[in-house]
Every structure is written in C-alpha cells, then in structure tokens.
Structure 1
C-alpha cells in the first residue's frame, strides 16, 4: 500500500501548497450561497414558495446542493492534474516505476476525493452561519461526499487518460458538469422539471449525493430517495469509475 498512500500524500501536499487554488476553490461555492442563495431567499420568502422547497427557506434548501456541487466539481478537476503530469513527464516516471499502476491511480483518485471533501467541509462549516442545518448530519453527508468524490474523480481521470490537451479536457468538463449540476436537484426540485429532464436526473449520480446530503443536513422529509438507494448507487458508481480508471491506466503507454 506504500504506492497508494504516497500518491494520496502527494495530491494533498500539492493542493495545500497552492494557496491561490485553495482560496479560489472556495470562492465559487460561496458566491452561489451568498449572491445566489441569499438573493433568491428574499424572492421565495413566503409559505407557498417554501412548500415547493420541502417547507424550508431557499438558502437551507440550497446549501446541501452547493456542498455536493463543490465536491463534484473539485473531484472532476483531478483530471487536470493528470494532464499536467503528462506534460511535465511525471506520469512517465510512474509508468516505468516498479510499483503497482492500479495502486498509483487509485491513490490519485482517493487523494483528489479527500481534497474535494476538505473543501466541502470548510464550506459546510461556514454555511451553519447562513442556514438552519443539522449538526448531526455532517458526518453522514461527508460520507456521501466521499463516495461521489471517488466516483467523479475516477471519471475525470479515465477521461484525462484519453486526452493530451488541457483545453480539450476543460471543454469536456464544462459540457459534462454544467448539465449534471442543473439536473441534480441542487438548485431547484426535480419535481419541477419536464418529464424528459426528470428521466436524465434519475441517472445522474450527483442527484443521489444532493438528495442524501439534504436528508442528513435538513431532514428526512425533504429527501426523495431511500438511504439504501442513495448509498448503494454512489458506492456502485465509485467502484465502477475507479475500476475503469485503473483499467485505462494499466493500458497506458509511454508516448
């Protein structure tokens, strides 16, 4: 397991040394909460509107979604670091090293997920000053965040292994992350979507992370799926995308 733990340490160390990256990764979700959430809270501050959002104010409804979005987006960007390693030839050193390739790539994925989870934890800590959240729900919400982080980091790495251009990868990320965010129920309820959008939302992994986070941080009444479905779907996707990334890395060659 030395290769696995070393790669986790490297990802976390590299992130902690980049102060601009740490600060920048927190600014975007805070903008969502403060300028979007607090702004729309005034619009939805009436009993009829609250009934649409499960009987809670809009900011409380939004916080679990922004938490899941933060973990999701930061985990996906793990593919960016892989492309950088390609450009600086660090990936070649891993490929020729007498170490397990599967351990190396799974260590990267786990490190990326933990990095995203740290950012999500900081966001949640700040959110308690803005919304009515349940403190006891933080740990299970972080557990779901870790699973979705593993799944999305694995997806990002698997895509990045097929690409050499940073610009191309960022375009793919934008094409995938934005629709998945809007179709997750993070910003507005799935019930308000047209039928064809609902069908897509139900196969969106982020939907189950948002729903589970809302269950634990806000209350069971606001959740749409059972805990078994939420944890089961995210666990299966984490295993599937991690295995896909490991398989792709095993087939990787030195250009």
Structure 2
C-alpha cells in the first residue's frame, strides 16, 4: 500500500522534474492585455483585482515601500494560482515543499532587513529593544528579539507548508474512507462525502488565504524597515 505522503514527493516524468512545469504553468494561464482600447471581461476583472489588492497592500507603506508593489502583487498571484491548481486531481503542489517556500521567504525577508539597515539603521536596531525596558532585562530582551527576528522567514515558510500539507492529507484520508465505506455502509459513505465536499471548499479558502497572509506579513516586515 502506498504511503499517504507519496503525494508530496516531487514527481519525475522521463527524467524531467514536473515541479518545473508546475512552477511555470501559472504564467501561461493568465491572459495578457492586448493593444485594443477596450479589453475583454476576463482581462478587465483581472486588472481590477490586481489594482485593488495592490492598493490595499501599499496603503500602510510610505513612498519608499511602493517600489515593492509589482513584486508583492506578482508573488500573491503566483502563490494563489499554484495553491489552487494543486487542488485538482493528479496534480502536484510545489508549495507543499518547505524548500520551495523557504526559497521565497528567506531572500525577501533578508531584503527587507538589509533595506532597513541601509536606510535607517538606528530605527531598525531600535526594534530589538522596546522603549522603557528596565536595565536588567535589556540583554535578555535583545536576545529574544534577535531570535524572533531570525524566526520570521522560518515561520513564513512553515506556515504555508503546514497548512497546505495538512489540508491535502486530510482530503486524501477522508476520500479513502469514502471509497472504503461505500460498499459496506452507503449512508455513512454519503455523509462522509458531504464532509469531504465541505472540507474541499475550506481548502480552497485556505489556499487563497495562506497566499494572502504570506504576502501581507512580508509587507508588514517591509513597513518596519522603510
């Protein structure tokens, strides 16, 4: 019997890692604006969504942080598309791999820290020590805040990986229970299938929310350093 965790291994077909296709596919699916004066409905809705999201994301940032608008909006769309495509049957979700998520989290978090150290080193270092701290607690708080600073990229990657992995695994477990119970107890199998349908809807919401949370936390880290 195959392990339930086999679905999280990167598949290979004819020596080609399919994770490459899964990563490149989102950029092929979206329509590109044409040279016409009036775009079609899909392109219009897509542009409206991107503009609304970018405006909301950049609202608490000052002018220096607005340079990140294109990067954060592209990352948001990329993560949402990969998460949603991973819910389809016979597909692979790259965001269930911790190495993939850390490859996004560590460089972007490090970029926000470097920007803060370069532009406003005093304010950035001031986050390591809250104002009004008693003198005996200063060394302990500096160590704690430094550890929490370096834990930020790990929490970004682990949060996205754990939520998607747990959801996919739970869907597979309940789907297996439905197939096992169907010839034995049809009524229980139908009830379990209803639970499976509701869980699938929940996983769709989780796929979108986790992508938004990933980008939102990055914008908050950027807000502290610009």
Q: Report the TM-score, using the length of structure 1 for normalisation.
A: 0.34
Larger Rg, first or second structure (1 or 2) = 2
